[in-house]
Amino acid sequence: MKILVTGGMGYIGSHTVIELINRGNEVIIADNLSNSKKSVLDIVEAITGKRPEFYEIDVADKAELEVIFKAHAIDAAIHFAGLKAVGESVSMPLEYYKNNIMSTIALLECMKAYGCKAFIFSSSATVYGDPAVLPITEDFPLSATNPYGATKLMIERILTDFQYANKDFSVTLLRYFNPIGAHPSGLIGEDPNGIPNNLVPLVIKAAKGERVLSVYGRDYSTPDGTGVRDYIHVCDLADGHIGALKNADKPGVYIYNLGTGNGFSVLEIINAFEQVNKVKVPYVFAERRPGDIAACYADCGKAEREIGFRASRGIEEMCRDAWNFAKSM
């Protein structure tokens, strides 16, 4: 298949591009490089032997996006492009709503105009808000506690309404839990521009002696008092997108959790990282981070039943691959 990957130069996008090419697909990337580097193209080529065609554009700019659809008969679009820092979204909501919503609408308009009928969306477990019980299934109530999460909810609604009005379309919503780790080659991984927000890039900085990690809260109602999350290897996440392509020629709306079904606490991640990589991760306990929830992990049975997806990489592999990449940075 010929697949357009928006945000394909980013962390999850680039790992998915590699897997798509390895499975024989032709990939076109559209990315504005706001949170990624052009050198990713060289790494994708080094790993796969293929260099995807790359358009450095703002996906929200319909005219720029249309150039791609005029030049290529796209079979499916995987939409990663978007701003994604929870804290930042609170301080700059308009940028988040404008960028994340308008890029989705521009993409849908081009797809409709050029007969591309399969849309796979990079959604997030953040749409579940603070779940009353665990594990989380796809029919749980949805809510947003910040503008970033609100854009994910709105985009899911836009896609659902669009498919209702265009019954020959296939829409798949993939709700990611906490992606960590890196490609086993060590050539590509999580390399955010600026100061990271997420736990593992900050664990890595602590392991490198660049800063002491702050553990945000130790009084949650969890086994050791620290936050529990469902961490999934980024390569498993890429495999989940390959599975989602099975729906490409089946009109409808499909929703899947992409996680492992296992919850790990902050302290368990720190310990696993230290054990696997034989390093020390200096940390101190700090106040809870506003907006954080105590625990979140997935029931992933639906993805396994419907698209044959099941995460296969454990926490040790996630910690090892993350460190293996980070050492090269």
d(CA 42, CA 45): 5
Q: Which is nearer to ligand WQD, 4 or 86 (CB)?
A: 86
Locate the DSSP E strands across 168-223: 170-176, 178-180, 213-216
Phi, psi (rounded to 5 degrees) for 3: -120, 130
Q: Which is nearer to ligand WQD, 59 or 213 (CB)?
A: 213
**End-to-end CA separation in angstroms for the chain:** 33
Q: Which is nearer to ligand WQD, 211 or 305 (CB)?
A: 211
Q: Which is nearer to ligand WQD, 32 or 222 (CB)?
A: 222
Q: Which is nearer to ligand WQD, 166 or 197 (CB)?
A: 197
Nearest residue to ligand WQD, scored by beta-carbon proximity: 227
Q: Does the annotation mark 128 as catalytic?
A: no
Q: Which is nearer to ligand WQD, 25 or 257 (CB)?
A: 257
d(CA 172, CA 156): 9
Amino acid identity, residue 1? M
Q: Supply the minimum distance, in Å, between the C-beta of residue 6 and ligand WQD.
A: 15
List of residues 6+ apart from 81 with CB closer than 8 A? 6, 7, 10, 13, 30, 31, 32, 59, 103
Q: Name the β-bridge partners of 215.
A: 285
DSSP state of 50: -
Note whether 247 and 118 are within 8 A (CB).
yes
Q: Supply the minimum distance, in Å, between the C-beta of residue 171 and ligand WQD.
A: 19
Tokens of 2: 């010929």
> Taking Cα atoms as reference points, which of 21, 5, 18 lies closest to residue 121?
5
Nearest 5°: the CA angle 3, 7, 13 is: 75
User: Of the listed 55, 96, 128, 148, which one is catalytic?
Assistant: 148
> Taking Cα atoms as reference points, which of 313, 186, 139 lies closest to residue 238?
313
Give the containing element (helix H, strand E) for 3: strand 2-6
Q: Supply the minimum distance, in Å, between the C-beta of residue 259 and ligand WQD.
A: 11
Using CB under 6 A, list all residues that contact ligand WQD. 84, 86, 124, 126, 176, 178, 197-199, 202, 213-216, 227, 229, 266, 289, 292
Q: Supply the minimum distance, in Å, between the C-beta of residue 180 and ligand WQD.
A: 8
Q: Supply the minimum distance, in Å, between the C-beta of residue 309 and ligand WQD.
A: 18
Q: Supply the minimum distance, in Å, between the C-beta of residue 266 and ligand WQD.
A: 5
Amino acid identity, residue 14? S
Catalytic residues: 148
